[in-house]
């Protein structure tokens, strides 16, 4: 996705949201995974490359699913706004790193009565690792490989010896309205936004309350590449609101910014657009405040 750690705790890191996504996408809304059965998992993995230099991989969100003290599975999410050719390779890396952690957990340092230390090994139960790729693109379907075979140029004689690997890909904008209705957490608002954008190229908010206000708005800012969600996030409190109020605030902020644009800037921008033959853009900017801001950012960035 290109941007991580936008908050100390992202929307998907909340147990209610995390469990909700799992239950809808994997179990068709059946409440299989309970939020009180989840605990934070490792999201950063280190590996060595380039002559021993330490590198880092990072998931967007990960949780252990536990029954009492027994780990049943490890779930991880990857948010995608664009199709990625190497997604299967990344997925293998995340899953492989977590399986390696399970093996290393068998070893622990024991201190004897005489103070000497030794390494003890006791094989602990293994559990499955499941990575979900959440694709938020709404203008086109995912058109990149979904399996390892699709990423590699494999000679036919080698194929029987190369294990394939497939990603668990979910195209959020292409969920049905029934599937969206199954979400019980704030993720329903996110999913509904992208489904509406795919179908209608516009979004009409519903008056349902947002529980994790800042986290939802900051995630929306990253997924839509629209900084106005961040601007609103910074001025709204943490009290419960709905997306109708959020969009009203965005519109009001846009009007305030528009009023603050000097006439000299408007004239200079108009001259640039006319000289470039962008008459349609000039006409659109007369009534579209966000588009006007985009044009100023593009053609007169020193003014913003």
| 173 touches 194 (CB < 8 A) | yes
Residue range 147-166, pLDDT digits in tens: 999 999 999 999 999 999 99
Distance CA 261, CA 285 (A): 13
Residue range 96-150, pLDDT digits in tens: 999 999 999 998 877 777 778 888 888 999 999 999 999 999 999 999 999 999 9
pTM: 0.75
* pLDDT for the residue numbered 7: 38
Residue whose tokens read 């299967």? 88
Beta strands in 30-179 (DSSP E): 38-40, 44-49, 53-58, 61-67, 70-80, 107-111, 117-121, 129-135, 168-171
Q: Using alpha carbons only, give the angle 168, 173, 176 rounded to the nearest 5 degrees.
A: 90
Q: Cα 194 vs. chain centroid, distance in angstroms?
A: 13
Q: Strand, coil or helix: what is 73?
A: strand
In the chain, how long is the greatest CA-to-CA distance?
Answer: 86
Ordered by start, the domain boundaries in the chain are 11-209, 264-304
Positive or negative torsion for Cα 276, 280, 286, 289: negative
């Amino acid at each position: 996705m290109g941007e991580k750690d936008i908050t100390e705790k992202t929307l998907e890191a909340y147990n209610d949201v995390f469990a909700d996504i799992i239950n809808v996408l994997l179990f068709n809304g059946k409440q299989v995974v309970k939020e009180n059965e989840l605990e934070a998992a490792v999201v950063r993995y280190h590996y060595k490359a380039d002559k021993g230099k330490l590198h880092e991989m990072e998931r967007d969100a990960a949780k252990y699913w536990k029954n009492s003290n027994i780990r049943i599975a490890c779930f991880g999410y990857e948010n995608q706004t664009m199709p990625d050719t190497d997604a299967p390779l990344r997925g293998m890396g995340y899953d492989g790193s977590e399986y390696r952690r399970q093996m290393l957990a068998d070893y622990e340092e024991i201190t004897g009565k005489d103070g000497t230390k030794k390494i003890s090994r006791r094989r602990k139960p293994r559990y499955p690792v499941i990575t979900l790729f959440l694709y938020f693109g709404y203008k086109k379907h995912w058109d990149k490989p979904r399996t390892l075979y699709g990423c590699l140029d494999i000679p036919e004689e080698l194929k029987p010896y190369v294990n394939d690997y497939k990603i668990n890909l979910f195209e959020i904008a292409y969920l049905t309205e029934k599937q969206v209705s199954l979400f019980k957490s704030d993720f329903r608002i996110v999913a509904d936004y992208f489904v509406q954008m795919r179908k209608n190229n516009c979004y009409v908010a519903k008056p349902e309350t947002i529980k994790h206000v800042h986290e939802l708005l900051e995630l929306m800012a990253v997924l839509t590449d629209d900084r106005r969600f961040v601007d609103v996030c910074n001025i709204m409190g943490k009290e419960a609101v709905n997306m109708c109020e959020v969009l009203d605030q965005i519109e009001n902020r846009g009007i305030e910014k528009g009023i603050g644009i000097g006439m000299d800037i408007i004239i200079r921008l108009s001259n640039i657009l006319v000289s470039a033959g962008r008459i349609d853009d000039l006409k659109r900017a007369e009534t579209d405040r966000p588009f006007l801001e985009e044009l100023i950012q593009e053609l007169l960035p020193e003014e913003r």
